Every structure is written in C-alpha cells, then in structure tokens.
Amino acid sequence: VVDIRKFYNETGMFTYDPGYMSTGSCSSSITYIDGDAGILRYRGYDIAELAENCDFMEVAYLLLRGELPNAKERDEFHWTISHHTMVHEQLHKFVDGFRRDAHPMAIMCGVVGALSAFYHDSIDITDPYQRMVAQHRLVAKMPTIAAWAYKYSQGQPFAYPRNKLNYAENFLHMMFSTPCEEYEVNPVLAKAMDRILILHADHEQNASTSTVRLAGSSGANPFACIAAGIASLWGPAHGGANEAVLNMLNQIGTPDRVGEFVKRAKDKDDSFRLMGFGHRVYKNYDPRAKLMARTCHEVLAEVGAEDEPLLKIAMQLEKIALEDDYFIEKKLYPNVDFYSGIVFRAMGIPTTMFTCLFALARTVGWISQWKEMIEDPDQKIGRPRQLYQGATARPFISMEQRG
Ligand code: ACO
C-alpha cells in the first residue's frame, strides 16, 4: 500500500484511477471482503454465520457499535428503533406531491433528503449524542418510508408501524396491510426478509457508500448524505441490478433461449450484459449469492412456487455461464442480485420496490460508515483530482468575432 497523500506532498504527482479501481479512500474497521476467496465479514464475523444465527437488529447493532449486543442491549436497541419508526405526518404532504406513477426510489430519495429539513435544527454532527439519534432515526424510519413509497404507487392509504413486530415483520406489515385486512405475518417469509436485510447491510466502499462518505466529508447533514447514497444505489450497475435481472429473465423467457443471451453478453459489439453477474471486488462466487440462492428455494417452497419459470431460467443461466470460457476467464460469477429479484417477487414485492429494499437494508451500512468517517481524525473532505484533457489556454473570442 502506497501512502498517496505523502507521495503527493513529496512529488506533486497524483494517481489517475477512473472508477477508483485501486484507490483506498479511507481506513475502516467495519466490513472485510476477500474478493478472490469469496469472503465477506462484518466486524470480523462471517456473513453466513451472522445470517444463520442473528436477526437484522443484532447485525445493525454490530455494524453501528462494533460488537454483537448481549440480550439486554439487543432488546434496548430494538425498543429504541421501534420507537423512532413513525415519520412526521407533514411528510405525507411531501409524498403527495409526487406523480402517482413516480418510481419508489425517486420518492425515497426525495423523502429521505427532506428529513434533513425536519431535523436540521437538531443535527450537530460534532455532538456524538446527536449523531447517534440521527443513526437511530434513519434505521427506524427507512422501512416506513419505503412502504409509503409503495402504498402511494398503489393508491392505498399508508399503514402505520406496529411496535410489537420485529423489523422485518413490521416492514411486511406496512407493505401489505390494508384498511380492509391486517397482514398476517408468515414466519418463513419474515425470516427470509430478515436474512435478505442482513446480506445487504454493508459492503465496504461500493459506489453508494463512497457517495455517502464523500457527501458527508463536507460536514453535510446525515439525512442528505443518505439521500445521496440512495441516488447512487439506484443505477442498474449497482442496486438497480436486481430489478434489471428480473427484466432480463423475463426477456429470455424460456430456459432454451439462455444460450442466445449468453452469446450476446460475450459479444463486444453488443452492449448487453448478464445482469446479476460480475463484481468489482469478487472474483469468485459472491458469498451473499449462495445464501440468497438458498433463501430463494426456501421462499419458493413456502409459497408453493417451486416450479417458478424464472428460477428455472436463472439456474440454467448460471449453469451455462459458469461453464463458459469467457465467464471463467473474466471471473464473472453470480452476485447478490442474481437471485434476490426472484425471492422478492415470490414474496409479492413488485419489481420497482426491489432497489428500495436494498436501500433500506444498506442504510445501516451507510450510516455506520458515515459515523466512522466523522469520528476518524484523519478524514479530510473528499476531493478527487482529474486528468485535464480540454483545450490549452486560448485567446478570448468576442461575440462579434463569433459571428
Ligand atoms: N456480462 C458480460 N460481461 C461482463 C459482465 C457481465 N455481467 N460484467 C463484466 N463483464 C466483462 C466486461 O465486458 C469486461 O470485459 P473486457 O475486459 O473484455 O472489457 C470485464 O468483464 C470486466 O468488466 P468491467 O465492467 O470492467 O468490471 P467492473 O468491475 O467495472 O464492473 C460490474 C463490475 C459493474 C458489477 C459489472 O460486472 C456489471 O456490469 N455487471 C452487471 C450488473 C450487475 O449485476 N451489477 C450488480 C453489482 S453487485 C451490487 O451492486 C450489489
């Protein structure tokens, strides 16, 4: 590792690294990835063990505070989060301002950014207590806002949070309860949702997390920083991939057409890529994809959709791609998004909500990373340099001369 800051101070030279392929932007103790070995750990704990043995609130506590909670700490944390789940009634009016067919990610981005206007007078980021309250508010209100975005698109009244439910159950309740019928929690689906939230909770310095850190490095309001993260997550190369995977599987249509699409993905003159395949860091099977595939089978069995045609297409696609020289050579494996869309669909979650779910899970990671950055004495305002390739100095041309 080269200390670029020292290198720059001594030589006046800086690195040219579009896409930050080999630039470390911070030091962090939150998430560890070994992309070659397919390892992901939160605070040193393997993702598979956390997904198997913990609930999302324990993992959120771990990411935010650095240690797994004991039973008392877990209960207190759950109490705190559940007592911040309400969102100010005035924000309904804000949501009402969106077009009825607005994408739920656009609504989430706007509403979370608007929280900064609600808490602008109580967010002094130099005060650790206020920083902690901001973390709690964000983690707690995200499911409410995501469910609002969905309800609004359906033209249904918003469902209020139920504090007696756990985090995942509460989200499902707010998504699916109507004034006519209260959602009855299905423990298998709630457990699957909880595990999905754990798998998406953090992933070190990806595009959206780096966006949150960059926005926050100027001292910006944390709600505004998270809104910036949501915007970055939305793209199809990042969190929007789960939506894109489902669209792709639908486009493929039947397992016998998989070969045709794999061929297209390899063609340099075709911009088509296999969605849910490849990763900047993983050059091995994404460990989250393995857990997601297992969750997919459990959920489909629970809802009686073992014969889901899209799963058959996905499995055929995985099989063909993993045996293909192009994908082997470039080390392209399924990533977390490959199976998540099929799981969400089986749970009755519409495609446009997929990335919102990712955003609500990742909020825990974003705000943990924001906190770590604010508390890091070495952190400076983020300010990348550029390789200028524009015109050299030119004499000014007056309007008359320009004709
Ligand atoms: N299908 C076909 N070819 C691919 C794919 C793919 N899904 N992904 C990468 N490649 C090829 C590229 O064409 C490139 O080939 P080349 O070296 O001949 O030019 C090579 O593999 C490397 O790809 P890059 O785009 O340079 O790799 P990068 O690290 O920049 O991109 C990314 C990673 C964006 C995830 C890419 O693999 C991709 O677009 N995948 C599909 C979208 C997706 O699933 N995104 C979700 C990522 S996970 C997440 O955000 C939670």
What is the value of ipTM here, to two decimals?
0.95
Whether 83 is a known active-site residue: answer no
pLDDT tens digits in sequence order for the chain, 403 residues long: 788 888 888 998 888 999 999 899 999 999 999 999 999 999 999 999 999 999 999 999 999 999 999 999 999 999 999 999 999 998 888 999 999 999 999 999 999 999 998 887 667 889 999 999 999 999 999 999 999 999 999 999 999 999 999 999 999 999 999 999 999 999 999 999 999 999 999 999 999 999 999 999 999 999 999 999 999 999 988 888 888 999 999 999 999 999 999 999 999 999 999 999 999 899 999 999 999 999 999 999 999 998 999 999 999 999 999 999 999 999 999 999 999 999 999 999 999 999 999 999 999 999 999 999 999 998 899 999 999 999 999 999 999 999 8
Whose Cα sits closest to atom 29 in ligand 1? 280
What one-character-per-residue DSSP string does 317-383 give?
Answer: HHHHHHT-HHHHHTT--B-THHHHHHHHHHTT--GGGHHHHHHHHHHHHHHHHHHHHHT-TT-----
At residue 87, what is the residue type? V
Decide if 104 contacts 239 (C-beta within 8 A). no
Query: Separation of 279 CA from ligand 1 center, angstroms?
Result: 6
Angle, alpha carbons 299-301-303 (nearest 5°):
70
Whether 337 is a known active-site residue: answer yes
**Helices 222-233 & 128-154, crossing angle to 10 degrees?**
40
Decide if 355 contacts 21 (C-beta within 8 A). no
Whose Cα sits closest to atom 44 in ligand 1? 276
Tell me which residue has tokens 């962090």. Answer: 28
Ligand 1 contact via 227 beta carbon (within 6 Å) = no
Q: Quick one: pLDDT at residue 287?
A: 95
Q: Which is nearest to 318 in space by CA: 364, 268, 277?
A: 277
Whose Cα sits closest to atom 35 in ligand 1? 279
Q: Which of the residues 103, 173, 200, 279 is marked catalytic? A: 279
Ligand 1 contact via 340 beta carbon (within 6 Å) = no
- Give all strands (DSSP E) within 15-159, no chain letters: 31-34, 39-42, 45-46
364 vs 17: CA distance, rounded Å: 28
Q: Quick one: pLDDT at residue 122?
A: 65
CB atoms within 10 A of CB 253: 13
139 vs 126: CA distance, rounded Å: 20
Q: Quick one: pLDDT at residue 98?
A: 95
Whose Cα sits closest to atom 47 in ligand 1? 238
In DSSP terms, 41 is beta-bridged to: 32, 46
Query: Separation of 277 CA from ligand 1 center, angstroms?
Result: 7
Question: Which atom of ligand 1 lies closest to the CA of 276?
Answer: 44
Decide if 204 contacts 29 (C-beta within 8 A). no
- What's the predicted TM-score (pTM) here? 0.93
- Residue 163 DSSP one-character state: T
